[in-house]
Chain A
């Protein structure tokens, strides 16, 4: 492999590693935010956390070729956006759906650790 090729390979490994660690941080924050939102459905700060975290995953997954994760994170972001705009109420059903989406994201990403 030539020098340029090796640099590109190292960069992709580093990029994937930072993305996966970032994604893990985001998913953990989303899980905690969902728990707090269930206790206090009016807590818009938690909705903001969910939005920011979903957007972060949706923004970086495509460049690593993680299309499934990107699409799911985008869908999550869209749903949370509707909550932010108050066009979708926070219900137990919605929270259960968001939880399942977060769990599914954990499954499709090759994460390490807890």
Chain B
């Protein structure tokens, strides 16, 4: 199932969620006891707007969906992907990708959800596949290996 920006999906049981990430970020949450997991995909840092596509709304929507599926909050673990920024391109101000990553980390810290893996930043767009059942994540960096 492909997750467009601004969307959230979670399942009790095995499902593969995929997204292509530029400066956008995907937060994957899963119950470490297995069986329940989900992902969001947002393009805006929390402080920018009150939009449904921002980090805070995306995070609340994902947590709410996981709650309804019966996930145990203290057992939730997080993986974080995306937030690319082309180095050297933005000199004057923090790039969008970095702000998205910082917003996601702040939300995880506030909810005391341990971040167990991440692949963020740098200048690579990514293709992500997340397995909701066991919480395994596979990331391919795009634009590499094709000189």
Contacts and interface: CB of A to CB of B under 8 A. Distances in A.
A18 B86 CA distance: 8
Given A10-B144, A13-B143, A59-B90, A33 B5 contact: no
Contact of A17 (B44, B90, B95, B125): B125
Contact of B142 (A17, A29, A33): A17
B119 to A, nearest CB: 13
Contacts of B124: 14, 17-18
Interface string B112-147: 000000000001110000000000000001111111
Given A59-B90, A60-B89, A32 B142 contact: no
A73 to B, nearest CB: 13
Interface string B89-107: 1100001110000000000
B143 A18 contact: yes
Nearest to A8: B147
B43 interface: yes
A69 B97 CA distance: 20
A21 B143 CA distance: 11
A9 to B, nearest CB: 5
Dominant SS at the B interface? loop
Nearest to A45: B49
B5 A29 contact: yes
Interface in A1-23: 1, 6, 9-11, 13-23
Contacts of B97: 22
- Most chain A CB within 10 A, of B49, B90, B97, is at B49
B22 A49 contact: no
A45 B50 contact: yes
B23 A32 contact: no
24 contacts: A10-B145, A10-B147, A11-B123, A13-B144, A14-B123, A17-B124, A18-B22, A18-B23, A18-B124, A18-B143, A19-B86, A22-B22, A22-B84, A22-B97, A22-B125, A24-B22, A29-B6, A45-B51, A46-B51, A48-B48, A49-B49, A49-B53, A56-B95, A59-B90
